[in-house]
């Protein structure tokens, strides 16, 4: 069975990060091995959050894994509890690549959305993600994170995309953005969860996949409800497990986008508060159907 090291925070309340990724990866028949970057009472969208930093323990954590001879097929990286963690993660990646040259590294640069950095995030977090991106076989930023990594004007790009009625025009905008991103990562890139409307006025979510050769593909799904915390974590967990099992980028992206849409719709129908994320636990069987 494939093994995936999942490097992310652990939030006690609010379906996000490790609490959502571990069951999803396990359901897809990949062994999920968690590495907490921080332990939080809840995700940071809640008003009061207690946080325990894990950076002082991370070196010993990785050292013990390496001394035990543990080897992984993939590494998924998400939220950093502290910017000083990234050199330790990079050392771990380099050691794992020695053990397994076929190691797949997925970086979900969790730090921003809707044009702004998350609470407690700074320019140093952008720099840390830029450094980690050098090791990524797949980078999965949302549009805000992509703009920050590429040093693009988010608001200007968003307005330009809104004015683009044809995919050819949108393709020109994304080619520019993705060309910049390919200069910071050797891997493929998926820019996730871009809001748009189709010709019928229906709300859609667009994921833009750019392979390492620059081949660009648009993957669209109907928008099934409000944006919710944890959907990026859900998306990256599905993508990572699928890639380790041999699924190509486009099929993995479609499977992840379909499941995220289903989970959002399900949560809306059950009136789950947005801040609590997506109710996915009773939908895991659908992942088996897509596997």
Confidence of residue 120 (pLDDT cuts 50, 70, 90): confident
Q: What is the domain extent for residue 134?
A: 3-290
**Surface-to-core class of residue 5, CB atoms within 10 Å of its CB (0-12 exposed, 13-18 middle, 19+ buried):** buried
Write the DSSP assignment of 60-71 as a string of letters. HHHHHHHHTT--
132: helix, strand or coil: helix
pTM listed for this prediction: 0.96
Q: Alpha-carbon dihedral of residues 76, 82, 88, 93, nearest 10 degrees?
A: 20
Measured CA angle at 265 (ends 259, 267), to 5 deg: 100
Q: What is the mean pLDDT of residues 73-87?
A: 96
Number of domains making up the chain: 1
Contacts of 32 (CB under 8 A, 6+ apart): 4, 6, 21, 22, 25, 26
Q: What is the mean pLDDT of residues 207-224?
A: 95
Q: Do 274 and 16 form a contact (C-beta atoms < 8 A)?
A: no
Looking up residue 132, the CATH number of its domain turns out to be: 3.40.1190.20
Q: What is the pLDDT of residues 234-258, one digit of tens each?
A: 999 999 999 999 999 999 999 999 9
């Amino acid at each position: 069975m494939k093994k995936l090291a999942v490097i992310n925070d652990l939030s006690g309340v609010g379906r996000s990060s490790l609490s959502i990724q571990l069951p999803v990866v396990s359901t897809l028949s990949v062994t999920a091995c968690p590495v907490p970057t921080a332990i939080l009472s809840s995700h940071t969208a809640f008003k009061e959050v207690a946080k325990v930093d894990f950076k002082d323990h991370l070196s010993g954590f990785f050292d013990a894994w390496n001394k035990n001879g543990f080897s992984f097929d993939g590494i998924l990286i998400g939220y950093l509890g502290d910017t000083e963690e990234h050199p330790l993660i990079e050392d771990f990646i380099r050691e794992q690549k020695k053990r397994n040259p076929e190691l797949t590294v997925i970086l979900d640069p969790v730090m921003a959305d809707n044009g702004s950095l998350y609470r407690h995030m700074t320019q140093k977090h952008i720099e840390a993600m830029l450094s980690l991106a050098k090791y990524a076989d797949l980078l999965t930023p949302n549009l805000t994170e992509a703009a920050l990594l590429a040093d693009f004007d988010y608001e200007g790009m968003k307005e330009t995309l809104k004015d683009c009625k044809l995919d050819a025009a949108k393709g020109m905008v994304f080619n520019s953005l993705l060309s910049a991103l390919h200069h910071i990562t050797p891997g493929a890139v998926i820019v996730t969860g871009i809001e748009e409307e189709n010709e019928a006025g229906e709300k859609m979510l667009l994921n833009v996949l750019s392979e390492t050769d620059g081949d660009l593909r648009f993957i669209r799904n109907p928008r099934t409800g409000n944006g919710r915390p944890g959907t990026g974590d859900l998306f990256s967990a599905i993508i990572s497990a699928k890639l380790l099992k041999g699924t190509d980028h486009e099929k993995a992206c479609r499977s992840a986008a379909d499941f995220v849409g289903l989970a959002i719709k399900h949560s809306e129908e059950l009136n789950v508060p947005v801040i609590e994320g997506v109710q996915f636990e009773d939908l895991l069987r659908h992942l088996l159907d897509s596997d």
